[in-house]
Structure 1
């Protein structure tokens, strides 16, 4: 796509660019549903997935996306990279770039990693697969494609995001996408799991989950990222958290029969979401997973200068 060499986050995209990627992803859905899931779109291209954080959905979907488009795909994790031997992240990236890949997909615990590496990798496109608590652009594009499938457009819709907002790159990217795409965000969390000055995003903030439910078109649940918690971000017991902030059937009924249930995964059943809700007809969790492959096909195609399916 002209004007887009890298994908760092939603913050750097205009509405027309977001719509372009979502619509391109939409065009790839049929490929993923047919018996032979293969297209020659990226034949001769090389994609490296460089993941320094554990991931099932994001890493696997990028790998499947590249392979279904006929690209050569190489996966590298922190445990198998030379960084385990003391090599710096930059030297690892420079080494990989010297092998002339077309795209490097990076997931890292430090915010800004992709921008930093892009300054040194002149001829390689960088895609952010999640950096710290900063952004997760392909997840939000995935969510927008899921909404497109359900509603046609998220314009005018109310998305209620519940849980560990403070550490969620997904929540941050949605807060950045909402004003560009015309939907509204409600945030629900205990005070200890909200970032400071969150109101600057122009969203509504609730501490009472039940008060936020009426009028919600989708309830988007987030897990508590216990691996990132500090003493200042503590919350009551798991049982108390589920009672106050867990999505159960009673709350889903209060939200309405048309309200979608979304979750970026991994889900902690019995904590932020009840099993019967996760498996309900209103759940779009597995749809998000399916749309994730199509969106990553779109992003890889755009980063390689393409834009047409075959």
Structure 2
């Protein structure tokens, strides 16, 4: 049975984590970002397992680089080549890796609730790298880190999240975290992509452009086939951050996107690397944030 100490070092989500704990992670990430040495021996002799039961590029590579920079030995797990394909449960797979001597598990999976269910049965800390449309805590942490770097403080920021929030774990984690800092968070989304379980106000695209942070979400183009999305061009016209709309954003404001992005659908090609865009710096900030989270899990 998982001990209290191990549970405290796990990071399953941001809903129940304190503001002070978030600040400590952000501060530690700042330390790692500006540390002169690229590779350290802080976690020498520790084994980190990246268990991705769902495909990922940015998150997996970001975690792997973070782990290696800390000096940990890294084991990468792929569900496609594992016994999961033979019918083994996710719990049994994770328990097997724990039994081989892994010290921390970074897990990404589609089913909601499985992570919270298996965590108490393990004796290693777990880090949520995205579970279904529930939470994606390290993405939200790097988003907060990016905002704090630009504005100097998170307190009272006006953040507009634009896109398919119904299926977004990024949106959920950001709402949970940002509200701890007194931020005003609003959603701008098509009516059929709203979520009902979070009390967040919905605003127009015109009002979203008045925010301090305009955070765009990826359009899941596969939903076009299911009828939830009428067309990519229609979405761009109504909810896309076009060059014309980007020109209306306040000069102090920034544009964000968790990526991957669909160029010229939810965000115009010219906006992605514009002066106010922080999209690629967001990706860079993922490494020091994940260094801080992994170090926290194993310290």
Instruction: Say yes or no: TM over 0.5.
Output: yes
- Contact 1:104–1:127 (CA under 8 A) maintained in structure 2: yes
| SS of structure 2 residue aligned to 1:101 | coil
Deviations 1:157-198 (A, max 9, x none): 111100010000000111111221221111100100111254
Is residue 2:131 matched to residue 1:127?
no
Which residue of 202, 205, 209 maps to 1:209?
205
Q: CA RMSD in A?
A: 1.7
| SS of structure 2 residue aligned to 1:90 | helix
Deviations 1:211-270 (A, max 9, x none): 3322x1111000122457895x71321111001000012211212222101000001001
Give the equivalent residue in structure 2 for 1:10.
14
Q: TM-score, normalised by structure 2?
A: 0.94
CA shift for structure 1 position 56: 1.0
CA shift for structure 1 position 5: 2.5
> 161-170 or 245-254, which moves further after superposition?
245-254
Is residue 2:46 matched to residue 1:51?
no
Tell me the distance in 2 between the aligned counterparts of 1:229 and 1:55: 22
Deviations 1:119-169 (A, max 9, x none): 221x21100000000000000110111112111111111111000100000
Is residue 2:122 matched to residue 1:117?
no
Is residue 2:258 matched to residue 1:234?
no
Q: TM-score, normalised by structure 1?
A: 0.91
Tell me the distance in 1 between the aligned counterparts of 2:119 and 2:140: 22
| SS of structure 2 residue aligned to 1:254 | coil
Tell me the distance in 1 between the aligned counterparts of 2:161 and 2:87: 39
Which residue of 228, 236, 245 maps to 2:239?
245
Tell me the distance in 1 between the aligned counterparts of 2:131 and 2:114: 7
Is residue 2:26 matched to residue 1:22?
yes
Is residue 2:254 matched to residue 1:260?
yes
Tell me the distance in 1 between the aligned counterparts of 2:222 and 2:180: 31
Is residue 2:107 matched to residue 1:106?
yes
| SS of structure 2 residue aligned to 1:148 | helix
Which ranges in structure 1 are unaligned for 5 or more consecutive residues? 306-310
Number of residues paired by the alignment?
Answer: 295
- Contact 2:179–2:185 (CA under 8 A) maintained in structure 1: no
Tell me the distance in 1 between the aligned counterparts of 2:224 and 2:95: 33
Which residue of 216, 219, 229 maps to 2:214?
219
CA shift for structure 1 position 52: 1.1
- Contact 1:136–1:170 (CA under 8 A) maintained in structure 2: yes
- Contact 2:66–2:288 (CA under 8 A) maintained in structure 1: yes
> 76-85 or 40-49, which moves further after superposition?
76-85
Cα 1:152–1:236, aligned 2, differ >3 Å: closer, same or farther?
Answer: same
- Contact 1:100–1:124 (CA under 8 A) maintained in structure 2: no
- Contact 2:208–2:214 (CA under 8 A) maintained in structure 1: no
CA shift for structure 1 position 91: 1.2
| SS of structure 1 residue aligned to 2:165 | coil
